Amino acid sequence: MTVANQKGGVGKTTSTVNLAAALAMHGIRVLVIDLDPQGNASTALGVEHRTGTPSVYELMLGEIPLEEAAVTSTASPNLLCVPATIDLAGAEIELVSMVARESRLSQALADEHLDKLDVDYVLIDCPPSLGLLTVNALVAASEVLIPIQCEYYALEGLGQLLSNIDLVRSHLNTALHVSTILLTMYDGRTKLADQVTSEVRQHFGPTALRTVIPRSVKVSEAPGYSQTVLEYDPGSRGAMSYVDAAREIAEHGASGAYRAGGR
């Protein structure tokens, strides 16, 4: 599942790591691919990502296999992460001239490698752009999860993301579909949040999860301690909402509703 939205600060990374932690807490084995040179997902999962660390960069160049790039997170023994170092910042340009530039990540995540790690779910955290890194993430996945922030301009740019997804589906990955919309940073005190929520539900129907992630200080504090909010404050509303959202995702997966044409 690729977590994408070319807007920055909408909750891609926060949702990736906390959904992954919630799934792992229930005994599901999850692999997080940090595909943002900032390495925020690596930080939140307590995984080293200094320059020189074997990372998603070497993985995409084909220099190391997945088994060597994946590290167990401090968050859970069921949670693995392929970190991103700042080296990835150059990849967007370096990839342009490479063979099979759009499917580098997909090849690295071939079933034979995933089987060795024995993972049930792979979550890919995208950078805030629609460049080659995000395209690689869209080619590697069957599902897209789009986090949408309950704020002004939330839906702006969404059309561009959706048409890119359509393009990737028709040319590179027929299995790709938007399976999940997650509303984030919901502030119940504002009318605006309700307006965005109802607009999104009108547009996306049941693809939008029933669970909405509230704006919560605990959620934003957790990465400062290299933790997910599930470790930092498991009883907080933020943590519980991510557990609920993960349950919805797992139920969808189990029901097969979103698996049409998937792996």
- DSSP-based three-state secondary structure for 105: helix
* Interaction partner, residue 206 (Mg ion, ligand ADP, none; CB < 5-8 Å by kind): none
Site for ligand ADP in 118-137 (CB under 6 A): 128
Report the residue from 5, 13, 173, 227 that binds Mg ion according to the rule CB under 5 A: 13
Buried b (16+ CB within 10 A) or exposed e, 120-147: ebbbbbbbbebbbbbbbbbbbbbbbbbb
Q: What's phi and psi for 122, nearest 5 deg?
A: -120, 125
* Interaction partner, residue 8 (Mg ion, ligand ADP, none; CB < 5-8 Å by kind): ligand ADP
In this structure, what DSSP letter does residue 215 have? P
Torsion-angle region of 46 (φ positive above 0: left; ψ -120 to 50: alpha; else: beta): left
Site string for ligand ADP, 6-45 (x = CB under 6 A): --xxxxxxx-------------------------x-----
Report the residue from 7, 12, 169, 252 that binds Mg ion according to the rule CB under 5 A: 12
Tell how strand 79-82 and strand 71-72 pair up: antiparallel
For Mg ion, which stretch binds (CB under 5 A), given 12-20, 46-54, 202-210, 220-228?
12-20
Give contact residues for ligand ADP (rule: CB under 6 A).
Answer: 8-14, 40, 128, 184-185, 213, 215-216, 219-220, 238
